[in-house]
Structure 1
Amino acid sequence: MKNKNVDAVKAHFIFSIKLVCSLLITVTAAQANDSTGYVGTGGVEYIKNKNISMHSEDLYISKDKIRVNYEFENLSNKDITETILFPMPAIPSFTDSDYADTNATYDSFQVWVNGKLINPDLHVRTFMRPIVVKDGDRTYSETSVDTTEIFKFCGLNEADMRGPWTYQVETEYVNQRLLNCNNKKLDRFIDDREDPYIDWDSQVIYSWEQKFKANTVTEIKHTYTPLVGGSVHLGEEQFADFCVDASTKQGLNKSGPRPYQALSYILTTGANWAKPITNFKLTVERDPNELVSFCWKGKGKVKKIGPTTFEIKESNFMPTHDFDVAFIIK
């Protein structure tokens, strides 16, 4: 596996002083170029607080589970209370059949604080792309805008808006409510009120109030089923994304198309803390009938610690790259 930075759209685990909408709208999701339909979740982001550091991060990644154990240390002599946010990515209302299983991720999220299971609050936001004129043609902006309040004005509640996550509300129902809604603000996003297809995204956010006691380490753990996608063939155009090594390339070229699955995890937000991460460990586990390939751009070495398990350890870690991993059927 060689080092190469990868570019994927991922979700952020955001620690913030307030539930700020301007932060939420920066979290988006997109399908991979080969329509594998996977989007990333995870990662830790913090609005810099010089008094709180990430003492350790123990991250486990497999196709079935993401598990992260954090130790956050309050370096000050005063208690600090923050609102912690865990936003999932903003996913499209219409998805292909091979898109990641959003319902499994939605149902599986759990969080523990100092060993105690807590029940976080749940929020939902919607996003749409405004219509813009480009080179004389009407098209849609590449940047989405938060439209949650418009959806509410049109009589849609949070259960309706999180339908793409839960599969409990039909997208067609939401679209028809928007088409019938007498709100001029929708003209910015809907070009034809006779067209039943409307492009919008749904984002689920978990939150809870957290006290970091003075001069104390706070342990936070969360687990969930990752958003995993797949395709019938890992082509040469994806080799660089996952840093496929020479021997694996040779095997893939000889054997022909190989199905694979992939997931993404954001690491770079770990650089936002008061200090580098004192102790960082990443464990990746594959199935026995698979090969695994990913990029790593750190000082730590990738070690195989079991028949299907790989481990990386870093000290005083300042992450500069994110993490994409491919699980390739042998």
Structure 2
Amino acid sequence: MKNALRHLPLLFALSTAPVFAPAFANDTMAELKTGGLTFVRTPEVEMTKEALFISPSEIRVDYVFTNTSDKDVSGLVAFPMPDIGGDPYANIAIDDFETDNYLGFTAAQDGKAVAVTLQQRAYASDIDVTEDLKARNIPLLPMSKAAKEALKTLPDDVAADWIARGLIFIDTYDDDGTGMKDYRTPLWSLKSVYWWRTTFPAGKEVTVQHRYKPSVGGTVGISFLEDGQPKGERYQDYVKRYCIEDNIVRRAQQAEKDMQAGKPYLFEAWISYILSTGANWGGPIKDFSLTIDKGAAENLVSFCGEGIKKIGPTTFEMKAKDFTPTNEIDILLLKPSGAQ
């Protein structure tokens, strides 16, 4: 583990091939404009402290914000959720596609739970199609069973129009063992943002906390070796993205041999976090800390960072003063087969 925090991958579920998924975002300030939220810089309010904890089961973020001006500052605190695309072949690691809060997001301010507003907009070919879906009572979450069931009720002329506009397509498969059938399938993407109104009192500190369950992606086996050797574009990408070093490569090579011999082997898991939106507040983060928990002592972990220290059997910590996030966090886990 070395170098500064760098570029971030996307997160998807465990599958037999590597697939990538949306990433998680840091808090930022927003102003409400026609058509949805836009994010703005907020020079009057600085992020005095950020304590970020990332594990395969939970992401926790604790902030202290300080209004450095001589007047109260009111606005919106926003948390962008990962975009959900309508790709029917994407294997996304989300437990419950039938609920809007698919990551179990919660927020608190100054120790008290806050009532957050969820804004969701659907897009097809970069065009907002939210009202089209609502007018036909189609749920916005494209991968939900409810959305696919609702599409069955569309009049044929509307379905034809939506196919032409890229909202849906016809997928053909055997769903119940009775033969191949055509199914209207979502193609739109869903953008979701949680937000709430707040006031930062002049010269005062405000604490904000939020929690959610990450979408942990991965692939069976090891994907960054070619013919058992560390080479090729994917390996170079992993070196840049996760700062993998020789000890990780050696364990990966042994894992490939073990897999071929029918022995327990290692598989990849990925966690990603978008950190750079923290730069939207006034000035650098005065006191930043990152704790990464690899989940189990037998797991291997690799990520980029400076001054990383192991502080427990499964935990690693990085601290920085006057920290300006410009890149994201990528975490690679190598987990024994059969591990949870």
Report the TM range for the smaller structure's normalisation.
0.7 to 0.9
* Structure 1 pair 44–179 and aligned structure 2 pair: CA distance change class (3 A): farther
Q: Tell me, yes or no, if structure 1 residue 45 matches structure 2 residue 12.
A: no
Aligned to 2:53, the other structure's residue is in SS state strand
Cα distance in 2 between the residues matched to 1:179 and 1:94: 22
* Structure 1 pair 207–309 and aligned structure 2 pair: CA distance change class (3 A): same
* Structure 1 pair 107–197 and aligned structure 2 pair: CA distance change class (3 A): closer
Structure 1 segment 1-330 matched on structure 2, within 5 A:
1-3=1-3, 5-8=6-9, 34-46=17-29, 47-96=40-89, 98-101=91-94, 103=96, 106=102, 108-129=104-125, 144-156=126-138, 160-162=139-141, 164=143, 167=144, 169-174=146-151, 177=154, 180-181=157-158, 187-189=164-166, 196-236=184-224, 237-238=234-235, 239-240=238-239, 241-256=241-256, 258-286=266-294, 287-296=296-305, 300-330=306-336
State the 1:67 CA deviation.
Answer: 0.1
Cα distance in 2 between the residues matched to 1:289 and 1:93: 36
* Structure 1 pair 182–283 and aligned structure 2 pair: CA distance change class (3 A): closer
Q: How high is the sequence identity, in percent, across the aligned residues?
A: 28
Cα distance in 2 between the residues matched to 1:118 and 1:53: 21
Q: Is the 8 A contact 2:13 2:216 kept in 1?
A: no
Bigger Rg, which one:
2
State the 1:45 CA deviation.
Answer: 3.1
* Structure 1 pair 183–259 and aligned structure 2 pair: CA distance change class (3 A): closer
State the 1:171 CA deviation.
Answer: 2.1
Aligned to 1:171, the other structure's residue is in SS state helix
Gaps of 5+ in 2: 30-39, 171-181, 225-233, 260-265
* Residues 274-283 or 285-294, more deviating: 285-294
State the 1:183 CA deviation.
Answer: 9.7
Q: Structure 1-normalised TM-score?
A: 0.77
State the 1:233 CA deviation.
Answer: 2.0
* Residues 186-195 or 50-59, more deviating: 186-195
State the 1:37 CA deviation.
Answer: 4.5
Cα distance in 2 between the residues matched to 1:308 and 1:203: 34
Letter in structure 2 aligned against 1:307: P
Cα distance in 2 between the residues matched to 1:38 and 1:195: 24
Cα distance in 2 between the residues matched to 1:314 and 1:79: 28
Deviations 1:66-96 (A, max 9, x none): 0000111111121111122222122123454
Q: Is the 8 A contact 2:14 2:93 kept in 1?
A: no
Letter in structure 2 aligned against 1:188: R
Letter in structure 2 aligned against 1:311: E
Aligned pair count? 290
* Structure 1 pair 31–128 and aligned structure 2 pair: CA distance change class (3 A): farther
1:141 corresponds to: none
Q: Is the 8 A contact 1:154 1:181 kept in 2?
A: no
Kindly report the root-mean-square deviation, in angstroms, between the aligned alpha carbons of the 2 structures.
Answer: 3.1
Q: Is the 8 A contact 1:264 1:324 kept in 2?
A: yes
* Structure 1 pair 179–39 and aligned structure 2 pair: CA distance change class (3 A): farther
Q: Is the 8 A contact 2:48 2:287 kept in 1?
A: yes
Cα distance in 1 between the residues matched to 2:92 and 2:159: 33
Cα distance in 2 between the residues matched to 1:322 and 1:302: 16
State the 1:208 CA deviation.
Answer: 1.1
Letter in structure 2 aligned against 1:161: L
1:13 corresponds to: none
* Structure 1 pair 95–177 and aligned structure 2 pair: CA distance change class (3 A): same
Letter in structure 1 aligned against 2:135: F
State the 1:42 CA deviation.
Answer: 2.8
Q: Is the 8 A contact 1:82 1:211 kept in 2?
A: yes
Deviations 1:118-140 (A, max 9, x none): 221222211112xxxxxxxxxxx
* Residues 146-155 or 210-219, more deviating: 146-155
Q: Is the 8 A contact 2:26 2:79 kept in 1?
A: no
Aligned to 2:150, the other structure's residue is in SS state helix
Cα distance in 2 between the residues matched to 1:175 and 1:324: 40
Deviations 1:35-72 (A, max 9, x none): 33543213133411221110010000000000000111
* Residues 318-327 or 167-176, more deviating: 167-176
